[in-house]
């Protein structure tokens, strides 16, 4: 849903989701790869995040963007754990999608 909120269209969302789920991120730019591997490590074994990992994050993104990556990864991992703990199901639809975008517009005659 966050990717949709970021403005990606459905085709791009589908491709990106498949790419991320595949675990083969070799086609991504180096900074994106580093960010995904960092977030994966943080999500699975947060106690293993080292000063070297943080220096790598800053080297790839700069101080401000590195903080963004760290903060968002922490937030997402936290929300996932809370949802899992309370057994909250995922939404079936994207709650952030514009309701008007869900309803196909009727085709109008150009002469109107």
pLDDT at 101 over 90: no
In a domain, residue 112? The reply is no
Greatest distance between any 2 Cα atoms in the chain:
65
Q: Is the dihedral of CA 101, 103, 104, 109 positive or negative?
A: negative
Q: Which residue has the higher pLDDT, 108 or 49?
A: 49
d(CA 105, CA 37): 41
In a domain, residue 30? The reply is yes
- Per-residue pLDDT, averaged over 54-66, amounts to 95
Of 101, 100, 37, whose CA–CA distance to 73 is shortest? 37
Q: In this structure, what DSSP letter does residue 106 have?
A: P
pLDDT at 102 over 60: no
In a domain, residue 95? The reply is no
What pLDDT sits at residue 5? 64
Confidence bin at 106 (pLDDT 50/70/90) = low
pLDDT at 103 over 60: no
In a domain, residue 104? The reply is no
Percent of the chain beyond pLDDT 70? 74
In a domain, residue 111? The reply is no
What pLDDT sits at residue 29? 93
pLDDT at 80 over 70: yes
Distances from the Cα of 25 to the Cα of 33, 34, 46, 100, angstroms: 6, 10, 21, 34
In a domain, residue 94? The reply is no
Residue appearing with tokens 């849903």: 1
Domain with 15, as residue range(s), is 2-88
């Amino acid at each position: 849903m966050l990717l949709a909120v970021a403005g990606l269209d459905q085709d791009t969302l589908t491709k990106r989701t498949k790419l991320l789920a595949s675990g083969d991120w070799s086609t991504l730019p180096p900074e994106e790869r580093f960010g995904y591997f960092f977030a994966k490590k943080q999500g699975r074994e947060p106690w293993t995040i080292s000063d070297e990992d943080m220096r790598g994050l800053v080297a790839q993104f700069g101080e401000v963007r590195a903080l963004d990556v760290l903060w968002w990864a922490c937030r997402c991992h936290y929300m996932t754990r809370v949802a899992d703990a309370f057994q909250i199901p995922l939404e079936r639809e994207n709650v952030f999608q514009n309701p008007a975008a869900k309803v196909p517009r009727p085709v109008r005659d150009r002469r109107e």
